[in-house]
Amino acid sequence: MTTQYRMRSLALGAVALVMAAAPAAVATAQPYYDRDAQYEAQQRDYQARQAQYENDRREYDRRYGRGAYDRYYASHSGGYERTDREACHDEKKGNQVGGAILGGIAGAVIGSNVARGGGREGGAIIGGVGGAALGSNIAKNATHCDER
């Protein structure tokens, strides 16, 4: 009998706890129509801000030239966006290094084979230096960047 009494009191306690918590849960939940209205208001705010941004961007570009807004924003936003010109110049530098390495190797091989007798090391050194300079120059002139 005592077990039934305990089980009954536990069940009644659980029901009382659920009933006490239910009004708080119902009070904090928003109806769907309120959430939809809030979402629509947020969407309208976003669209208005986007339209203002596009208008500001057009006005700035009209005053300072095409792309000026993007250049200004990139330099003042804390972030940094690379331009096509900067990317091209970096590629040009990389090509110069690759050309110097390949030219140096080819020049050293040719210089060593051209030199006679005990002067092979000197021929390799002279050929390597000359080949590196020539390879770097050829690679540099092969890459053309748009100079605007």
Same domain flag for 49 and 114: no
Same domain flag for 88 and 112: yes
Domain housing 101: 84-142
Half-sphere exposure of 50 (CA within 13 A, CB side): 6
Q: What is the pLDDT along the chain (148 residues), one digit of tens a residue?
A: 577 667 667 666 666 666 666 565 555 555 666 778 888 889 999 999 999 988 888 888 888 888 777 777 666 655 555 667 777 778 888 888 889 999 999 999 998 888 887 788 888 899 999 999 999 888 888 877 765 4
Tell me, yes or no, whether 64 lies in a domain.
Answer: yes
Domain total in the chain: 2
Which of the listed residues 76, 95, 124 is the one where a domain comes to its end?
Answer: 76
Collect all residues with Cβ–Cβ distance below 8 Å to 98 and sequence separation of at least 6: 139
Integer Cα distance of 114 and 127 in angstroms: 9
Phi and psi at 31, nearest 5°, equal: -65, 155
Which of the listed residues 59, 76, 93 is the one where a domain comes to its end?
Answer: 76
Same domain flag for 68 and 27: yes
Cα→Cα distances 80→83, 87, 133, 148, Å: 9, 13, 34, 20
Same domain flag for 125 and 68: no
Integer Cα distance of 19 and 90 in angstroms: 70
Which of the listed residues 76, 106, 124 is the one where a domain comes to its end?
Answer: 76
